[in-house]
Each structure stands twice: as C-alpha cells, then as structure tokens.
C-alpha cells in the first residue's frame, strides 16, 4: 500500500439504548453545568460592582425600632444600615424607651419611627411640640389600617409602602404622605456566586395565608411534580401537606440569610402576595386593596433568580414585566410559565440577570433612605 492510498474510515458502531441514554444524560449534565456556571459568573461580575454613593447629610437622626423582634428586626437592620451611611449621626432606640427624655437630652434633627404601632402617641406629640421633626415608615399597609388610622396624623411625615393608602391618609388630615416601598437589604439578600448548597427547581417561602392555601391547592400535584419546596408558618392549614414530607416545611421562620440561599439555589421563585381581605389576620375593615409590590419582590430579585409573581397594578413601576420579572394572573398561568421557563434556560437566566441589575441600581435601602431624606429636607 503506497502513502497516497485512501483508507475508508471504519463507521462507528450504533449505540445500544442504554448507551444512548447514558450519552444523553452526560450531555445534559454538561449543559446544566455550563448554564449554572455562566449564571454564577455573570452574577459575580454584577455583584462586584461598586454601589452608588449618595451624599451624606449633616443631620442627627434618632431611629426608633419597632421593638417587635423577628421578623421586623431585619427591617430595622436594613434601615439603620442605610441611615448610618447617609447621615452624620444616628442614635438607636426603640418604642419601649422614654423618647421625650431622650430627644430632650440629645436634640436630634429627626425622629424616624418604623411601624410605630406600640409607641405611645403622647410621646410623639411632645417631640413635635419641642420642634423636632417626626416621620413614620409604615410596614404593613394596607393590612392593618384599622390601627394606622389612629396614629398617622401625629407625625409630620408619613411614608407608606402601599400606593392606595396615600389618599386615604391625606384624607385624615396628613399633609405629608409619601409612597416609599421597602427594598432589598444587600447585606442580607445577595446571590450565591459559587455552587449553591441548595438545588431546587421551584421555591415558595412565605406564611400560609388562606388565599395562598387555596391558590396552591388547585395546582399542588402538578407543582410538586417538579423539585419544589414550600417553606413558612401555618402550612398545616394545607390538608395535603403531609403527603409531601419535608418538601412542605411547617412552622419555621427562615432568617434572611437562609432565605437568600434558598432563593439563589432555585431556578424559579414564586411570589404570591397575601390578600387584602382576610378576616383571620387582617385589620383592614375598609378593605383597601393592595396594588403595590411586597418587600419579597425586591429581595427575590436581589438573589439573581427568576421571579414569578402575581400581577399587581403598580408592579411595572419597579420592574418591566417579561423583561425583569414574570407575572401571572391564575394558578394555571403560573404552571404554564413554570413549564416554559424550566425548559428555556437562556430566557430564564436573562430575565433573572436583568432583575438583579435593576435591583442593585434602583431598589436598595440606601436609595430609599436617600429619597426619604430628600422629601423631608429637600
């Protein structure tokens, strides 16, 4: 045989069905690893960017924490962290202290109260009379308006996270009512940028309000066909919960850090708002409807995962639907979108990354406190 002679290559032997299955599994594993690595790498790059720096105001703020403990204490941490970055001096106290004596001794420029449900109103009245500005940031609108209706007129400035409460409070004689939803506290809510210790397809974390129980009951078998985990208190209200063992966790408050890890380790996180009508837990006799996003909207987005959220009228003011966040209007529409995005990795990843970038830019507590101080001081 000379060197120029062509030799026909031996054709590969056909794979047996078990070999084909093994090859498909290997290729799927390679793609899954690539997709996961790409997402974590992009999140790491965005996560490493410097945060926006806001000017520091030469003012002394006395911050009055809710005094309620968990789950309000993480909100206190978030607000306090932002205040310490944006003001010259912060004094920390809570509703159990004698604020009249404290303000008389320290003379802050502003007393900022979170929640304020348990704060004696005569103390706020005395502080205002002494010439110190007061502000309250309400935490649970519109669900406890039976209580807030009695306290808002005692403050110079009222900040609410529910758009529909603005005119309601102004109608009570409050001249300075402003819309200021919560945000993502980046010390608590960040994406896992290395391989996550959690590996879920779908997560839901939240209390089992009755509207959520009824919503999930309709599609629970389909939802649990995926690697789905539900966490939160009161899920013993769901009759089918025992069928799924520890995939429906009952009776546990998760810390922000645990929650962030679970979010970031999930391909899709469901955000289903509580109803403004709930005779068991709400105190909203006027049935003021809720149209604004809950705090979880920003916290989920801050962990770099795709969020499926029930549509609320004001959601588009914060995230672009189908570009930065995905909405649904019914259980079946939610299931259709879960099926779609679990099989369209690039689209899922792109939306999650855009939401994360938008959150870093627009929806941090530093940004919110900066806006609050602009309202109060110009």
pLDDT score for 39: 85
Rounded Cα–Cα distance for residues 212 and 305 (Å) = 21
Taking CA atoms, 76 is separated from 21, 82, 151, 369, in Å, by 53, 10, 20, 13
User: For residue 57, what are its two tokens?
Assistant: 């105001």
pTM equals 0.89
Identify which of 213, 215, 217 has the alpha carbon closest to the alpha carbon of residue 232. 213
Concatenating the DSSP letter of every residue in 297-317 gives: HHHHHTTT-EEEEE--TTGGG
The one-character DSSP state at 13 is P
Contact 165, 145 (CB under 8 A): yes
pLDDT score for 253: 86
pLDDT score for 7: 65
Residue 98's contacts (CB-CB under 8 Å, 6 or more residues apart) are 123
Contact 66, 94 (CB under 8 A): yes
What is the side-by-side strand order in the sheet with 133-137?
87-94, 57-65, 110-114, 133-137, 157-160, 177-179
pLDDT score for 154: 98
Identify which of 249, 259, 345, 252 has the alpha carbon closest to the alpha carbon of residue 302. 259
Rounded Cα–Cα distance for residues 358 and 212 (Å) = 28
Give bridge partners of residue 203 from the DSSP assignment: 229, 269
- Go through the domains of the chain in sequence order and give each one's CATH number: 57-183+365-377 (3.40.50.2300), 200-362 (3.40.50.2000)
Question: What is the b/e burial string over 254-269, where b = at least 16 CB atoms within 10 angstroms of the residue's CB?
Answer: bebeebbbbbbbbbbb
User: For residue 320, what are its two tokens?
Assistant: 């672009």
pLDDT score for 214: 97
Burial class (CB in 10 A: 0-12, 13-18, 19+), 326: buried
Residue 325 CB neighbours (<10 A):
26
Give residue-wise pLDDT tens across range 95-107: 999 999 999 999 9
Torsion of CA 269, 311, 158, 140, to 10 degrees: -50
pLDDT score for 5: 61
Per-residue confidence of the chain (378 residues) as pLDDT tens digits? 455 565 666 667 677 877 666 666 565 555 556 677 788 888 888 888 878 899 999 999 999 999 888 889 999 999 999 999 999 999 999 999 999 999 999 999 999 999 999 999 999 999 999 999 999 999 999 999 999 999 999 999 999 999 999 999 999 999 999 999 999 999 999 999 888 889 999 999 999 999 999 999 999 999 999 999 999 999 999 999 999 999 999 888 899 999 999 999 999 999 999 999 998 899 999 999 999 999 999 999 999 999 999 999 999 999 999 999 999 999 999 999 999 999 999 999 999 999 999 999 999 999 999 999 999 999
């Amino acid at each position: 045989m000379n060197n120029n002679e062509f030799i026909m290559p031996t054709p590969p032997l056909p794979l047996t069905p078990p070999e084909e299955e093994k090859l498909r599994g290997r290729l799927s594993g390679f793609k899954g690893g690539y997709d996961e690595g790409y997402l974590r790498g992009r999140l790491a790059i965005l996560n490493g960017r410097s945060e926006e720096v806001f000017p520091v105001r030469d003012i002394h703020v006395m911050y009055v924490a809710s005094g309620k403990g968990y789950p309000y204490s993480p909100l206190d941490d978030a607000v306090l962290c932002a205040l310490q970055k944006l003001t010259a001096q912060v004094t920390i106290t809570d509703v159990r202290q004698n604020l009249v004596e404290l303000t008389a001794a320290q003379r802050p420029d502003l007393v900022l109260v979170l929640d304020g449900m348990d704060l004696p109103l005569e103390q706020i009245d005395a502080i205002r009379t002494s010439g110190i500005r007061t502000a309250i940031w309400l935490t649970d609108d519109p669900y406890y308006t039976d209580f807030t209706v009695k306290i808002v007129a005692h403050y110079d400035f009222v900040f609410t996270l529910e758009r529909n409460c603005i005119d309601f409070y102004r109608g009570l004689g409050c001249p300075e009512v402003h819309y200021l939803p919560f945000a993502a506290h980046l010390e608590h809510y960040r994406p896992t940028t290395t391989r996550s210790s959690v590996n879920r397809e779908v997560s839901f974390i939240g209390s089992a309000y009755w509207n959520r129980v009824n919503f999930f009951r309709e599609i629970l078998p389909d939802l649990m066909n995926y690697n789905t985990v539900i966490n939160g208190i009161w899920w013993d209200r769901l009759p089918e919960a025992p069928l799924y063992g520890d995939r429906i966790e009952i009776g546990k408050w998760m810390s922000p850090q645990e929650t962030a890890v679970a979010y970031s380790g999930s391909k899709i996180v469901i955000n289903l708002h509580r109803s403004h009508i709930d005779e068991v837990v709400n105190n909203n006799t006027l049935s003021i409807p809720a149209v604004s996003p809950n705090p979880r909207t920003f916290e989920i987005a801050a962990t770099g995962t795709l969020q499926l959220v029930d549509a609320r009228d004001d959601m588009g003011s914060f995230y672009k639907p189908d570009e930065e966040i995905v909405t649904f209007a019914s259980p079946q529409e939610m299931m259709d979108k879960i099926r779609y995005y679990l099989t369209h990795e690039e689209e899922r990843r792109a939306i999650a990354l855009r939401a994360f970038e938008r959150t870093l830019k627009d929806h941090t507590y530093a940004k919110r406190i900066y806006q609050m101080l602009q309202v109060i001081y110009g």
